[in-house]
Amino acid sequence: MRLLILFTILLSSVIRAHVGGLAQTLPDHDAVLDRAPTQVEFTFMAHVTITNIRLEVTSGEHSGERLRMVLPRNSIGQSTAFGEHIALDLPDLEPATYMITWQAMSTGGDIIVDDFSFTVTGK
């Protein structure tokens, strides 16, 4: 019986990670870019809704500053950033290092929180 319970817990963790896992971001984590991107793109292995996103400057003259990113929302304030592929507009970015922290919810109700950084050199 204990073995069955352990197997069930492990299997549900693997399924949850597979369903809601992040497959790719553009820009990539730790990317070094000559030009600032105008969008951030997420590709997931299943449909999710991005429920929260934050953009912070982590180096350069404005280190520690949070920049405004807007999630598309419906008339009652719910995020409409839904799907396997989600693209969101970025504000104008100067040369610096940035961290994007995001939260998403899978269709099964699992919450996923992660972050990634990238650098704009401006060269």
Q: Residue 116's domain is classified under what CATH number?
A: 2.60.40.1220
pLDDT at 7: 41
The count of structural domains within the chain is: 1
| Amino acid letter, 63 | S
H and E: helices and strands count for the chain: 1, 7
pLDDT at 1: 53
Give strand ranges (E) for the chain: 22-26, 31-33, 39-57, 66-67, 82-89, 96-106, 111-120
Q: Residue 67 pLDDT more than 80? A: yes
Average pLDDT value for residue range 26-38: 96
Contacts of 6 (CB under 8 A, 6+ apart): none
Q: Are 117 and 58 in contact (CB under 8 A)?
A: yes
**Residue numbers of the domain that contains 92:** 2-120
Q: Any idea what DSSP says for residue 11?
A: H
How confident is residue 60, by pLDDT bands cut at 50, 70 and 90?
A: confident
CB 100 within 8 A of CB 91: no
pLDDT mean across residues, the chain: 85
Which residues sit opposite 41 in a β-bridge?
26, 87
Q: Average pLDDT for residues 89-115, to the nearest whole number?
A: 94
At residue 51, the pLDDT reads 96
Residue 108, pLDDT above cutoff 80: yes
- Which residue, 69, 76, 123, 73, is CA-closest to 99? 69
pTM listed for this prediction: 0.79
Q: For a pLDDT cut of 90, what percent of the chain falls above it?
A: 76
